[in-house]
Amino acid sequence: SGESGAGKTESTKLLLQHIMNLCKGNSQLEQQILQVNPLLEAFGNAQTVMNDNSSRFGKYIQLRFQKNTVQGAKLSEYLLEKSRVVRQDTGERNFHIFYYMFAGLSSEQKEMYGLLDPSLYRYISGRFGTQEVAEHWKQKYQEVCNALDMVGFQEQEQVDMQAILAGVLSLGNVTFEPEESNGSVKVSEASQGWLKAAAVSHNKFMSPALLQSLSVSCCCSLCADARDSIAKVAYGRVFGWIVCKINELLAENVDPEVELREIGILDIFGFENFAVNRFEQLCINLANEQLQHFFNHHIFQLEQAAYKEEGLPWETITFNNNEPILNLLLAKPLGLLSLLDEQSAFPQATDKTFVDKLNSSFKGNLHFQPARGRVLGFSIIHYAGKVQYAARGFLEKNRDTVPANVRGLFINSVTPLLIPLHIHHEPGPTLARVKCGHEAHVKLLWGEKTHSLMVLMERMYSANPHFVRCIKPNSQKEPGVLDNQMVLLQLRYNGLLETIRIRRDGFSWRPSFEEFAER
């Protein structure tokens, strides 16, 4: 764990290499486990203000051992930040893969996918930079292609996948205008070309029925929301497909009777505090609050309970317990997330009614502060400091609506990858799934996010954990610069100073009675 940009993903890669090295084997499986990383990073990481290669999803890697050899591995992904596909703030970029494609595809391939100059796309932000950057991206694109081959994607599947990504970008440029005759909305004349490009000549991504289906008798902004939700769903689906393929490749091939031992590595997005913090940052920061609570539970509560039980003379060490913050966020029926779900279920509710509800419910709560002036938002005093959240878009993102007629498009898609979108999935550890029945489709995202986080936390609590705390040296993304104040702040809020005390004053060697008698 650690802040965004503290080095969690890089440490995870080093830890994997180290474990593989200790296994002494150089089997194909071990190489494959190490090689899936470029693929996950291309599709799941992006440049943010805090980190040029920021993980926008959480991953849990389970390595399964028989004796001392790795027999298989399983990857679970959590809370992919799909909203990044359709919007990025200043100084941020979309997922790496889009930039790699522009740099790595030949002009013939770009023509085949209907890709034009990157500056034309609404979903792509950030200048394309220097020749040097383009060369780097080109090289990265080659790594992704090699990894796709290695993981077992057929050539046609790779073509389909890139056609979908190109289709997502074209779709983002489709705009809407009112139909004068009957008050409904239609695709604007100016963006008809983009609509055709999104359908990618052979119906690869969308049937041209998109035009009819999005032109419902509603306002332009609702159509734009539906367009964006299609893009997010399609991208999430591609990501989920990659993870499934990786798991098929890495699954252990052993007799089910054989008991395997397991080492799990959790690399989750770090705590974030940007100039503007949205729904996504609240999700990320909640996950970090839960990890911090887990750390406290293990290091302080269980440890000191063991000393008391053994009747050892011990002065209790106090620590910053973040339980009140978790209660503020997760309590039922009056926690922040319960109130968000309640408001999301009212068609008349707005982001403002949600904020008003928070202000009245949490008046006097030490971890909650209403926004000053006319700002639509609120602040939460997290374990790592105060974060101000902008409330605009909270309800819409929590509702995560995919209109029913749009689901039909996926059902009729000729790309096999997109068809499963209409099948009802159990909520698993991925948000790339869209649940669809015939009912009006509003799934409350929090329910699904908290479900997948709870499953993760249950796994953590049942294991024997080791904590790797990553400390960010400076906020300038500079090597070799250590900002003492910044480091000290992290040591404080992570509870590491108290951890050092408990380790120094406590009992580090715990022999069993058998070991003691033997000795």
Q: Does the annotation flag 2 for ligand binding? A: yes
Q: Does the annotation flag 390 for ligand binding? A: no
Whole-angstrom Cα distance, residue 127 to residue 146?
A: 27
Q: Does the annotation flag 167 for ligand binding? A: no
Place of tokens 């890139």: 162
What are the residues whose beta carbons fall under 8 Å from the beta carbon of 307, sequence distance 6 or more?
314, 506, 507
Is the CB of residue 337 less than 8 Å from the CB of residue 329? yes
Give the H or E element holding residue 60. Answer: strand 58-66
List of E strands, 244-392: 261-267, 368-370, 377-382, 385-390
Q: Does the annotation flag 386 for ligand binding? A: no
Q: Does the annotation flag 335 for ligand binding? A: no
Is the CB of residue 473 less than 8 Å from the CB of residue 280? no
Q: Does the annotation flag 183 for ligand binding? A: no
- List the structure tokens of 247: 């798991």
**What residue type is assigned to position 395 of the chain?**
L
Q: Does the annotation flag 8 for ligand binding? A: yes
- List the structure tokens of 429: 């550890």
Give the H or E element holding residue 107. Answer: helix 107-113
**Beta-ladder partners of 70:** 65
Whole-angstrom Cα distance, residue 421 to residue 425?
A: 9
Is the CB of residue 314 less than 8 Å from the CB of residue 90? no
Q: Which of 190, 84, 198, 101 is nearest to 141 (CA)?
A: 101
Give the end-to-end CA distance of the chain in Å, rounded to a whole number: 37
Helix (H, G, I), strand (E, B) or coil at 506: coil
Q: Does the annotation flag 25 for ligand binding? A: no
Active site residues: 4-5, 9, 51, 54-55, 270, 272
Phi and psi based region of residue 170 (left: phi greater than 0; alpha: psi -120 to 50; beta: remaining): alpha
Whole-angstrom Cα distance, residue 50 to residue 432?
A: 25
Q: Which of 396, 394, 400, 412 is nearest to 358 (CA)?
A: 394
Q: Which of 241, 256, 268, 325 is nearest to 493 (CA)?
A: 325
Total residue length of the chain: 519
Whole-angstrom Cα distance, residue 47 to residue 56?
A: 9
Q: Which of 274, 354, 359 is nearest to 81 (CA)?
A: 274
Which residues make up each annotated binding site? 2-9
Annotated binding site for ATP: 2-9
